[in-house]
Amino acid sequence: MTLTLPWVGLESVLLAGVRIAAFFVIAPPFSHRGIPGTVKAMLAMALALLVAPRARAASDPTDIAAFVGQLVLQVVVGVALGFLVSVVFSAIQAAGSLIDMFGGFQMAAAYDPMMLTNSATFARLYQFTAIVLLFASDGYQLVITGLVRTFDVLPLGTPLDLASMAQLSSAGMSQMFLAALQIAGPLAVVLFLADVGLGLLTRVAPALNAFALGFPLKILMTLLLASTAFLAVPHLVSSLTDDAMNVLMGVNP
């Protein structure tokens, strides 16, 4: 009995699965360590089976070196695509970090074992809220849709255009800082003016020790004003999801 394996289809599934798995390791919300690695691997293989017909890769089944090279290439492509999406969504955490810095919460930074980073209160709050909103609003489906469509824009076996990657990365970084300033900028300005006012009050009445009295005041102002900025997070997540999909579609070979 002779068993013949469809090498072309099997190769397409493996290469597509490697790209998707590498993407899930980097790109939010799948990069969160609360999602088990087994779930990510199963989801990657399930998506690979679905996209295999549109991502056919033909090569010599006896050329093992070429196949290994293709695997490495797909890992690089998946990591690069995941990095672009991560840069887009990092605007939310950057906005929370700005609020922590100007509100004085940065001193309460703690190690986050889920993201392997040191982050303060509002940075973690904004980050967890964005992850929950991505799953609750089905925004993760748009991210997956953009990933699947990359197999049309960047088929298997096609090398990544470094110039396009650099351009998208720089544009994503600029967009990240702009979005962070749009969310946390007004609050940061108010808190900065509060510090200036406390400094002037200290000059007028040094014995009052206005800065010691100002810590509770800044905390109260931060909590009140951050609640208004927090209301913009759902709209921001929706906008960033569309931007992430556009970024994925903008990677040209």
Does some domain include residue 243?
yes
Q: What pLDDT does residue 61 have?
A: 53
Does some domain include residue 193?
yes
Total structural domains within the chain: 1
Q: What pLDDT does residue 100 have?
A: 80
Q: What pLDDT does residue 54 have?
A: 74
Give residue 207's domain range.
7-249
Q: What pLDDT does residue 98 have?
A: 81
Q: What pLDDT does residue 117 have?
A: 63
Looking up tokens 């088929």, which residue turns up?
155
Q: What pLDDT does residue 115 have?
A: 57
CA distances from 151 to 50, 74, 143, 243, 251 (A): 12, 11, 14, 18, 11
Does some domain include residue 241?
yes
Does some domain include residue 59?
yes
Q: What pLDDT does residue 7 have?
A: 61
Does some domain include residue 1?
no
Q: What pLDDT does residue 116 have?
A: 58
Q: What pLDDT does residue 108 have?
A: 63
- Put residue 209 in one of left, alpha, beta given phi > 0 → left and psi -120 to 50 → alpha: left
Does some domain include residue 2?
no
Does some domain include residue 178?
yes
Does some domain include residue 104?
yes
CA distances from 239 to 98, 111, 247 (A): 20, 29, 12
Q: What is the pLDDT along the chain (253 residues), one digit of tens a residue?
A: 454 555 666 777 888 888 899 999 888 888 877 788 888 888 888 888 888 777 765 555 556 777 788 888 888 888 888 888 888 888 888 888 888 877 777 666 655 555 556 667 777 888 888 888 888 887 888 888 888 888 887 877 777 777 777 777 777 777 777 777 777 777 878 878 877 877 777 777 766 666 667 677 777 877 787 777 777 778 878 888 887 777 777 666 5
Residue 248 and residue 147 in contact, taking contact as beta carbons nearer than 8 Å: yes
